[in-house]
Chain A
């Protein structure tokens, strides 16, 4: 007898001939993500991935409570739909019964309020002498005998006991839902523009969920923003990398560039000119680091720099595709995802935008192309961009160390 994890695959199973490469990537990602949980055997059969400890006494598999951390880690791996902790054992119906009792004991110990249940079973191993309905019926009866406080309820029971008879037998109850998507590494890398806010980490999470590995770039304006703001961005990068895997965070020293922009472009156009320079620096860094696109957390109409005209004005300075996964999303929906991925509490720490001098009171929300030409006429954009790229500090973010 041993406890194992049963992880279910989602969208990958719809893939055609290239399905194999997605599955290989998924198993690699799981192996990498679960490194710290001991020596594990990760293998696949049909649309499922089984995760077994090589050593029987691996503490992460001993009980439902002990397995919570490793299950959460599995759920952070894109490509997985859900995961359950299952008891794996051999033998006849007698051993099915014994293991079912152990499982029910544990469930009741964790939640004494459980009152109703049902048994579901699947029999892949046709040499097992009972059919699936017979297993359900007999096991249900045995449970009722042993636990008189429980009753059977077919619709919406408090818990379902799943029995699977395959090469081995498995029993489990309940599952933890994961983030679905495609395994990170099955598409080219993207460069995420990461600020200290709520949106950009969510944007990074969403692109990673489509299989995209990430690098990130942050524009730091010390002393106008504090080092706490920088630490906050590093913390956010770490949270995102829990899903996207190891990333490099490129921290651009933006202070002098910002001062030059402030001195040489009109107040109301500052946001636009600043974002245009930022995107060009980001594109240069993306090219240097083998990224094929930029990713921003822009959402249409949310702030002055995110009107259609302002987006068009910033978009035109780069050739790379800019992916904006939040563009049509409501702020509340973004906040919900932010909470779900554990970034919200960090995002709302108050260190960003410490200095308001660079924020125009009335920024131009609908800039015309001629406004932009006028705003940039006294600026040597190329040397600003070059200075930004050169003044970059790289930090490798490895969430699992």
Chain B
């Protein structure tokens, strides 16, 4: 099997599995909120995990909150910030290439009467500087929402430039950054990054599904999304799960090591596939300077879903955002926003790698692509 769908989700690593089993053993499975000593022990374990997680991300422990997924983190950050800081302004800026978790929150805010301004994206998938300045200059911008690495194309946001622009034009604007696809693939130090809120997901870094992290910089005020027993400093009620938090940490530890080596390996795979696929007439839609872990390719003569099923025959798994239906062709809004034409976008397939993919797999992939062209191309 060749699994090139790591931006969708990843396999659970051995270390994560082992950590989870360890943490389900007594006495740590007691409620961390309980007053007895078993509860205290669970809380200690949990707080330890929080400290270590914060350390690896370059944050303070009190800035880290465990959530159920990155979508929850995004919802809390975006909706919670706007609801808490009503005087900060009535506008939010973002781009149309964001993940649905962000875009749907913005839709929701628009219905509440907030003004959502979208910064134009260039062919490279990055926000256009002039457009950013223009939207900021209109004033009243409470929040800016961006993504560090785009999930469909791997386009990397020049975040330093973006945050510098925002801070100089509109210093009171808070910044939310979706770091889901970046985590473990590029170094992230939250103390230096310059974002006020960030979201992370566990299952994209070889943890299980059901755990995410929300970072809220000290001093930034956000209303909680989930109310209840006041756990996690009231920011995220619901009994804390040392098991899930521990799974996230175990995964984070693994991917935080050898980031550069893993990146070089991904670069090798990526460049090889870019070259081989281009020679076969495929169009590379990921920008040249994209993160090497994501490669968006448009295969000439094959609609996305057909190519996905062709690859599936060879036990190769990729993904497509251009879902097919007879009546309505749904094409990736991210690619369209980048200026890719409809027909090319309709044939787009996303290959996404993890640190565990190999060159051998890439070579085998190309062999099968050739077979698919021979066997299934309709001329």
Contact = CB atoms under 8 A, between A and B. Distances in A.
Interface of A: 222-224, 226-227, 259, 262-263, 350-358
B11 interface: no
A259 B378 CA distance: 7
Contacts of B327: 350
Nearest to B375: A259
A353 B326 contact: yes
30 contacts: A222-B309, A223-B306, A223-B309, A223-B310, A223-B312, A223-B376, A224-B376, A227-B309, A263-B379, A350-B323, A350-B324, A350-B325, A350-B326, A350-B327, A351-B325, A353-B326, A354-B303, A354-B305, A354-B306, A354-B324, A354-B326, A355-B303, A355-B305, A355-B306, A356-B326, A356-B329, A357-B301, A357-B306, A357-B378, A358-B378
Contact of A226 (B309, B376, B378): B309
A356 B378 contact: no
A358 B301 CA distance: 12
User: Which bucket holds chain B's interface residue count?
Assistant: 10 to 19
A262 B329 CA distance: 22
B313 interface: yes
A145 to B, nearest CB: 55
Interface of B: 301, 303, 305-306, 309-310, 312-313, 323-329, 376, 378-379
A353 B303 CA distance: 12
Nearest to A258: B378
Nearest to A352: B326
Contacts of B328: 350
Nearest to A348: B327
A268 to B, nearest CB: 15
Contacts of A350: 323-328
Given A223-B376, A259-B378, A262-B378, A356 B310 contact: no
Contacts of B312: 223
A248 B323 CA distance: 31
Complex A-B, nearest 4 residue pairs according to Cβ-Cβ distance, in ascending order: A223-B309, A350-B325, A353-B326, A354-B324
A357 B303 contact: yes
Contacts of B324: 350, 354-355
B305 A226 contact: yes
Contacts of A351: 325
Residue of B306, B323, B328 with most chain A CB atoms under a 10 A cut-off:
B306
Given A259-B376, A262-B378, A350-B327, 13 more contacts: A223-B306, A223-B310, A259-B378, A263-B379, A350-B328, A352-B326, A353-B326, A354-B305, A355-B305, A355-B306, A356-B303, A356-B326, A358-B378
B304 to A, nearest CB: 10
B204 to A, nearest CB: 25
A259 B328 CA distance: 24
Nearest to A350: B325
Contacts of B325: 350-351, 353-354
A146 to B, nearest CB: 51
Contacts of A224: 306, 309, 376
A357 B301 CA distance: 9
Nearest to A224: B306
B321 to A, nearest CB: 15
Contacts of A226: 305, 309
Nearest to B313: A223
Contacts of B376: 223-224, 259
Contacts of B326: 350, 352-354, 356
A390 B328 CA distance: 35
Residue of A223, A224, A354, A358 with most chain B CB atoms under a 10 A cut-off:
A223
A34 B310 CA distance: 44
Contacts of A263: 379
Nearest to A355: B306
A13 B309 CA distance: 54
Contacts of B378: 259, 262, 357-358
A263 B301 CA distance: 15
A354 B346 CA distance: 12
Contacts of B301: 357
A351 B309 CA distance: 13
B323 to A, nearest CB: 8
A259 B305 CA distance: 17
Contacts of B310: 223
A226 B304 CA distance: 12
A392 to B, nearest CB: 19
Contacts of B323: 350
A351 to B, nearest CB: 8
Contacts of A357: 301, 303, 306, 378
A310 B312 CA distance: 36
A157 B378 CA distance: 66
Nearest to A196: B326
Contacts of B305: 226, 354-355
A351 B325 CA distance: 6
A336 to B, nearest CB: 20
Contacts of A222: 309
B308 to A, nearest CB: 8
A356 B327 CA distance: 10
B305 to A, nearest CB: 5
Residue of A262, A350, A353 with most chain B CB atoms under a 10 A cut-off:
A350
B302 to A, nearest CB: 8
A344 to B, nearest CB: 15
Residue of B301, B312, B324 with most chain A CB atoms under a 10 A cut-off:
B324
Contacts of A354: 303, 305-306, 324-326
A61 to B, nearest CB: 45
A263 B306 CA distance: 18
A338 to B, nearest CB: 16
A226 B309 CA distance: 7
A355 B310 CA distance: 12
A354 B303 CA distance: 9
Nearest to B310: A223
Contacts of B379: 263
A223 B309 CA distance: 5
A226 B320 CA distance: 13
Contacts of A358: 378
A224 B305 CA distance: 8
